[in-house]
Structure 1
Amino acid sequence: MTGHAGVAVVTGAGRGIGAGIARALSARGHHVVVTDVDGDTARATADSLDGPATAMPLDVRDPAAHRAVARAAADLGDVTVWVNNAGVLSTASVWESTDAEVTSTIEINTLGLVHGCRAAVDVMRRGDILNVVSLSGLGPTPGLAIYGASKAAALSYSQALHIELGAARRPIRVRALCPDAVSTDLLHAVADRPSSALLFTGPRVLGVDEVVAGAMDLLSSRRQLKVLPAWRGWLTRTQSVLPAASRTLTPIVARIGERRRPVR
C-alpha cells in the first residue's frame, strides 16, 4: 500500500522531463508508477527513486495499455496524480513531412494524451492530471507545424476536460504545462535540421530541472495553465491573432534561431 500522498502515474518517464517529474513526485511521498515505451529505461528510473516505485512498459498509442496501467496503479492505492508526459518532436516543412512522421506525432502527442486522460479519469476519485504540452501549442510554429498542431489539440482537450470535470462536480483538476524548448534528447536529435530554427529563438534553452520545478509549482497551485517562460506565451499567442503580420515577422525571428541553432 502507499503512503499518504497516494499513487502517481508518469508516462514517458524513462528519461528527461518524465524521469525528473517521477523523482520529484517520489520525493513528495507518492508511490510512482513509472511507464515508458522502453521498459528497460522505465525500470532504471523506478530503481533510482528513493520511495516505492513500480515500472511498467507503456505504448501510449494503445488505449488498452493505458487502462491496464490504470488498473495496476489503482491496485496499489488511491491514484491522486497522473502525468501525461510522453511525446515526440518532429521538425520539417509541411510538404517534406513523411506519412510516418505525421502519424506518429499525432498518435503519440495527441491521442496518447487523450487515452491517458481517459484512463486516469476512470480510476481517479480526486487529484490532478498534469499534461506536459508545449509552448508550440499556443500559436503557429513554422517548421514544426505538425508538432504544433498535435500540441494545440492536446492543450484544447486538456482545457475542455478540466471544464467538463468541474461541471460534473468531480474533484479532478487537469493542468497543462507549456514549456519552451527544453534541453532533452528529443531536442538534440533535431537540432541539426534547419527546420528546427524556431526552437532556438528564445534567449536560451530551458533545463529539465526548470521544467520539473514548473510542473511541481503548477500541481501545488490553483492554476490550470502554466507557460515557461510566461512572456514567451504572450508572444506566441500574438502570432495567432495577427496572422498577416506573423507571416512577415516569423521568418525574421526564425533567422535569429538559425544563428543560435547548434550545428554538429
Structure 2
Amino acid sequence: MALSGQTAVVTGAAMGIGRAVTELLLQHGAMVALLDVDESAGQSLKASLDQQHGAQRTLFLHCSVESEEQTKAAFQKTVETFGRVDILCNNAGILNEAEWERSVSVNLVAVIRLTYMALEHMNKGTGGRGGVIVNIASMAGLGPLPSCPVYTATKHAVVGFTRAMAAASTALGYGIRFNAVCPTFVQTDLFSNIYDRMGIFSQLADQTRKYANTGVLNVSEVAAGLLELVTDETKNGEALMLRNGGKTYMTFPTFSW
C-alpha cells in the first residue's frame, strides 16, 4: 500500500508516539489530520510540519477522543479538507490506575468510537474506499502488567477488538484491514510518569522498574512498526509485539465456536 495521496487520521498526534507516527506518514507521502486535546502542542507541531512539508499536507484539530461531538466533527473536517480517510491510527491513551474509569474511556471506549466513525467513511460496502486501521495497544495487552491492572485490561480489550474487527471486515467485505501494535515500555510522558500513577498498586513500582530495565523503546521504533502494518497489505488481524530484542507477530490459540 503506497501512502502517496492517502489521508491518515492520528489521535494523540501532538506528542510522543502520535507525533512520530505523524512525521513518518508525512515522510512517506500521506496527508495527516492531527487530533489532540493539547491545543498548544498541536498548533506548535502543525507550524513545524508546515515548514517541512507545506501547510496543505496537515490539518490540526483540537479534539478530545472522549467527545462524540468533537470526534465526529473532526472526521467531517478531515473529509472536507482532504476528500477521504484511508488510515486511522488510534493512538491516544493514558495510564492512571487511580482514574480507572477515565482510563477505560480513553483507552478503549474511544478506540471503539473512532473506529466506528471511520467505518462510516472507509467501508467499501457503503461507498468508501477501504483502508487500514491500526490501534496502539501494548505488551500489557498480551500479558499482565501487575502494577497496572486497568491499563492491562484496556489494552487486552484493544487487541481483542482489533482481531474481531479484522474478522468482521473480511466476512462483511468492508475492505478495511485492522492491526494492533503492542510495544514494551516506550520513552514517552506516559512512561516517565508511570510510577506516580499506579494508585493502590504503587507498592509494585520496584517490580515495574525491573521490567523497564530490560529495555525501553524510542517512539520512532513504534512508528516503524505501525508503518509496516499500514503498508503491508497481507497484514490483517495482527498483533505486532515490539521490544528491544526485535519484533514478533503474535500467534494466538486456534479457537472455534
Residue 176 of structure 2: aligned partner: 172
Is contact 1:79–1:123 with CA below 8 Å preserved after alignment? yes
Letter of the 1:148 counterpart: T
Give, in whole Å, the separation in 2 of the partners of 1:109 and 1:63. 15
Residue 39 of structure 1: aligned partner: 39
* Equivalent position to 2:94, from 70, 80, 88: 88
Give, in whole Å, the separation in 2 of the partners of 1:106 and 1:62. 14
Residue 148 of structure 1: aligned partner: 152
Give, in whole Å, the separation in 2 of the partners of 1:218 and 1:26. 16
Q: What's the TM-score once normalised by structure 2's chain length?
A: 0.81
Instruction: Extract unaligned runs of 5+ from structure 2.
Output: 123-127, 197-201
Greater Cα offset, 65-74 or 190-199: 190-199
TM-fit CA distance, 1:233: 7.0
Q: What's the TM-score once normalised by structure 1's chain length?
A: 0.79
Give, in whole Å, the separation in 2 of the partners of 1:199 and 1:85. 24
Residue 218 of structure 2: aligned partner: 207
Matched position secondary structure for 2:193? helix
Letter of the 2:226 counterpart: A
Alignment of 1:204-243 (within 5 A): 204-221=215-232, 222-223=234-235, 224-229=238-243
Is contact 1:6–1:77 with CA below 8 Å preserved after alignment? no
Residue 115 of structure 1: aligned partner: 113
Give, in whole Å, the separation in 1 of the partners of 2:11 and 2:116. 14
1:64 aligns with 2:69: yes
Give, in whole Å, the separation in 1 of the partners of 2:83 and 2:249. 40
Q: Deviation per CA, 1:159-211: give whole Å up to 9, x if none.
A: 11111111111111111100011010111112465534336415211111111
Give, in whole Å, the separation in 2 of the partners of 1:36 and 1:216. 20
Residue 194 of structure 2: aligned partner: 190
Q: Deviation per CA, 1:84-133: give whole Å up to 9, x if none.
A: 0000012xxxxxx53xx111110000001111111111111211111001
Q: For residues 141 and 26 of structure 1, do their structure 2 counterparts lie closer, same or farther at Cα, with a shift above 3 Å needed?
A: same
For the aligned residue pairs, the C-alpha RMSD in angstroms reads 2.4
Give, in whole Å, the separation in 1 of the partners of 2:117 and 2:188. 27
Is contact 1:71–1:123 with CA below 8 Å preserved after alignment? no
Is contact 1:34–1:45 with CA below 8 Å preserved after alignment? no
Aligned length: 227
Q: Percent identity?
A: 28
Letter of the 2:204 counterpart: S
The ranges of structure 1 where at least 4 consecutive aligned residues each deviate by more than 6 angstroms after the TM superposition are 230-235
Give, in whole Å, the separation in 1 of the partners of 2:182 and 2:26. 22
Is contact 2:240–2:247 with CA below 8 Å preserved after alignment? no
Residue 78 of structure 1: aligned partner: 84
Q: For residues 207 and 231 of structure 1, do their structure 2 counterparts lie closer, same or farther at Cα, with a shift above 3 Å needed?
A: closer
Is contact 2:33–2:58 with CA below 8 Å preserved after alignment? yes
Give, in whole Å, the separation in 1 of the partners of 2:204 and 2:62. 32
